[in-house]
Structure 1
């Protein structure tokens, strides 16, 4: 009986202490200082598209240095022709990364050019085929003039092949055999001399001259 009496007394004391403790703690805080009255509130959270527009250009996180390799040669030429865009067509009808005309493509066996802009492998194959054709046409001029200065420019094989891509092998042949007197400029004013200088010194030695190349 005594144990039960002590238990009840103890329980009542604890209850009173706990109850008064919470009341005294609440009275120590002035909740009015946490009021948002008079504050300018903004709950508008921007979307991902608003922070980074969908049409914003992606910045590359690294740069690939290709040097004077063949890969460097074709990528540099492709960038000069179209900024590396496989799907572009210029006002004169030249298509793709390397800016081919339909007639040039037909000459290398591509009869249906409608899908050309959407076939990157075909465009790369066309570049290799056309470069090998130009190397065959200009093989004697390459042998005679590489290492010499023509028209104020030191001639290299890659420079000749790039100039042939711009102006055609026939015009490059006239330029070299005239000592630079017979020039050529495209519709944008770009000259053979400029391409000879800009694309000089790349390694194009592995390109095999081919009289009748075909786009695979």
Structure 2
């Protein structure tokens, strides 16, 4: 009886072990369509110069790489002004990627509007100089108002600089010192308050205030 019990026990163990045996399955080759094949190549993303963004709506976008950097600020403002087009001239005669008026260009030392339109590097340089100029004019207001809330908008340095690009430093002073009572609206309906909100929170510290910057 003991021998039969032992025999049956060994048989059960052998049965369990063989159930885990590995069986070789014959490989079957399947042809994959070319469109679904993965090739051993690097991935490259070709973005237009200085326009690394994904457009979401008419003038709303996501800065993929630039975030709240100064370059991100420039890119955002340029998209609002001209959709980033260096050759753009609007119905009021404002020129280039950042839509400068000819009087502002003359202040920067640029006398030839046509040459300005055909020189992207010059447009970028003029933009930086104009930021430096507006920072100088508004230096006391930046120190006084940054961090405060006006009309429900937290005032930031980048918001002030963007609004000055739209309306001029003088109109931004009036807006801030009247605590939002004296707003400015351009021919297309954009206001100081709108620019203060839309361009808030960017880091524009890389450009230092300068009294009379020129090319």
Q: Given the two structures, how large is their TM-score scaled by the length of structure 1?
A: 0.70
**SS of 1:165's equivalent?**
helix
Alpha-carbon shift at residue 152 of structure 1 (Å): 2.1
2:156 — aligned with what?
A: 156
**Shift of residue 192 of structure 1?**
0.5
> What are structure 1's unaligned runs of at least 5 residues?
1-58
Tell me the CA shift for residue 106 of structure 1. 0.4
- Mapped partners of 1:204, 1:176: distance in 2: 19
Q: Is the Cα contact below 8 Å between 2:184 and 2:191 reproduced in 1?
A: yes
> Is 2:177 aligned against 1:177?
yes
Separation (CA, whole Å) in 2 of partners of 1:96 and 1:60: 20
* C-alpha RMSD of the superposition: 1.6
Equivalent residues, number: 157
Partner SS state of residue 203, structure 1: coil
Partner of 2:127: 127
C-alpha distance in 2 between matches for 1:82 and 1:114: 17
The structure where helix makes up a greater share of residues is 1
Q: Which residue of 1 aligns with 2:9?
A: none
SS of the residue 1:116 aligns to: helix
| CA-CA distance at 1:112 after TM superposition | 1.9
Distance 1:111 1:60, change over 3 A: closer
- The whole-number CA distance in structure 1 between the counterparts of 2:108 and 2:116 is 13
Q: Which residue of 2 aligns with 1:101?
A: 101
- Matching residue of 1:138: 138
Equivalence for 1:205: 205
Q: CA deviation at 1:127?
A: 0.3
Q: Deviations over 1:175-204 (max 9, x none)?
A: 000010000010000010000000000001
Q: Which residue of 2 aligns with 1:5?
A: none
| 1:196 equivalent in alignment to 2:190 | no
Hey, what's the Cα distance between the residues in 2 that align with 1:88 and 1:111? 18
Q: Secondary structure at the match of 2:114?
A: coil
Distance 1:197 1:93 in 2: 26
Corresponding position of 1:112: 112
**Counterparts of 1:73-88 in structure 2 under 5 Å?**
73-88=73-88
Question: For the residues of structure 1 that align with 2:142 and 2:148, how far apart are their CA atoms?
Answer: 10
Q: Which residue number in structure 2 is paired with residue 46 of structure 1? A: none
Three-state SS of the structure 2 residue aligned to 1:115 is helix
1:149 & 1:128 partners in 2: Cα distance? 27
Paired with 1:114 and 1:79, the residues of 2 have a C-alpha distance of 21
